[in-house]
Amino acid sequence: MTQIDLQSLTNTLKQGVIDLAKKTLKDYEDQAKADGQQTIDSMKDELETWGEELKSGQIDSDDLKDLIAGQEDLFKMTALEEAGVAAIEIDKFKSGLIELVTNTLLSII
Amino acid sequence: MRTKFYTSLLASVLIFYSCSNTISLYDQCAYAQTTSAKVDALNFMNLATNDYNAHQKDITDIQTELQKAYEYEKHRQKNVFTIKMWDILLDSNGHLFGGFIKRWENEGKLKKAYIDDKKKEIGNAFDEIAELESKKTKQSQASGK
């Protein structure tokens, strides 16, 4: 009968989980930073354009207020999108965990 | 004995995790509906330089198209983030598509520069929904673990 070194198995799984968590979080962190930066840059450009349009009379102050309020709604949507991506990463982590446990156990059984 | 134990453990872990996705899987139909609705909604917005009352049919048509897409999303399991995004987009008391229609109704006509600026905002809002969908795990990836 196959003998299993329980301590070695536990250590392998522990290290595997740590590595997997680090990689999953790093991927998500990089993506979230890039998306956040892009959102801020985009809003800065929009504000400049709207300011010029207000000066030239192409839009009025009510239009401007509505556009700024629209940005607030858009931020809420961006936050929801990020939350959704975090949930996707959690699922990837769980999937990776299954693979880790499967491969580790199969290699010693 | 131990081999049996670990095999059972493995099976239990696999069964538990395979049944517990946190968020819905990718849906090609939902993605196609969102991107199609985006194109139609942005084209529709160009009409708002004209009188609101002259475009009742166009307004009903686009609202129906968006409601169909929203209903589809509402009936998918574990789809709360996408549904909340649609809620914000369509809210007539908000400042994206629903708010745009209401403002057009109240004002009668809207300025071209404002419409163009609003189209960028609303286009970005549709993109957020489509991007989340495109990042979801595909069925083939989920079953090929």
The residue-averaged pLDDT of B16-23 equals 72
* pLDDT reported for residue A1: 46
Please give the residue of chain A at the shortest CA–CA distance from B130. A81
**A87, A98, A105 member nearest B23 (Cβ):** A87
Query: Picking from A13-17, A25-29, B7-11, B57-61, which range would have the lowest pLDDT averaged per residue?
Result: B7-11
Give exposure, A22-44, as e/b (b: 16+ Cβ within 10 Å).
eebeeebeeeeeeeeeebeeeee
Residues of chain B with pLDDT > 90: what percent?
79
Distance from CA of A67 to the nearest CA of B (A): 7
Q: A66-91 pLDDT, tens per residue?
A: 999 999 999 999 999 999 999 998 88
Residues of chain A with pLDDT > 90: what percent?
38
* Amino acid at the residue B15: I
For the cut 60, the answer to whether the pLDDT of residue B145 exceeds it is no
* pLDDT reported for residue B59: 98
For the cut 60, the answer to whether the pLDDT of residue A51 exceeds it is yes
Tell if the CB–CB gap between B121 and A71 is shorter than 8 Å.
Answer: yes
* pLDDT reported for residue A21: 81
Q: B96-143 pLDDT, tens per residue?
A: 999 999 999 999 999 999 999 999 999 999 999 999 999 998 877 776
The residue-averaged pLDDT of B20-38 equals 94
Tell if the CB–CB gap between B111 and A58 is shorter than 8 Å.
Answer: yes
CB B94 within 8 A of CB A73: yes
What CA–CA distance (Å, rounded) separates B139 from B125? 26
For the cut 80, the answer to whether the pLDDT of residue A108 exceeds it is no
Tell if the CB–CB gap between A88 and B88 is shorter than 8 Å.
Answer: no
Query: Picking from A19-28, A40-49, A76-85, which range would have the lowest pLDDT averaged per residue?
Result: A19-28
Give me A9's structure tokens: 């198995």
- pLDDT bin (cut points 50, 70, 90) of residue A3 is low
Tell if the CB–CB gap between A98 and B125 is shorter than 8 Å.
Answer: no
Higher per-residue pLDDT: A98 or B103: B103
The residue-averaged pLDDT of A80-104 equals 87
Give exposure, A46-60, as e/b (b: 16+ Cβ within 10 Å).
beebbeebbeeebbe
Please give the residue of chain B at the shortest CA–CA distance from A90. B22
Q: Report domain extents, chain A.
A: 6-108
The residue-averaged pLDDT of A21-37 equals 80
Among chain A, residues having any CB pair with chain B shorter than 8 Å are 1-4, 42, 46, 49-50, 53, 58-60, 63, 66-67, 69-74, 76-78, 80-81, 83-85, 87-88, 90-92, 94-95, 97-99, 101-102, 105-106, 109
Higher per-residue pLDDT: B131 or A104: B131
Please give the residue of chain B at the shortest CA–CA distance from A70. B95
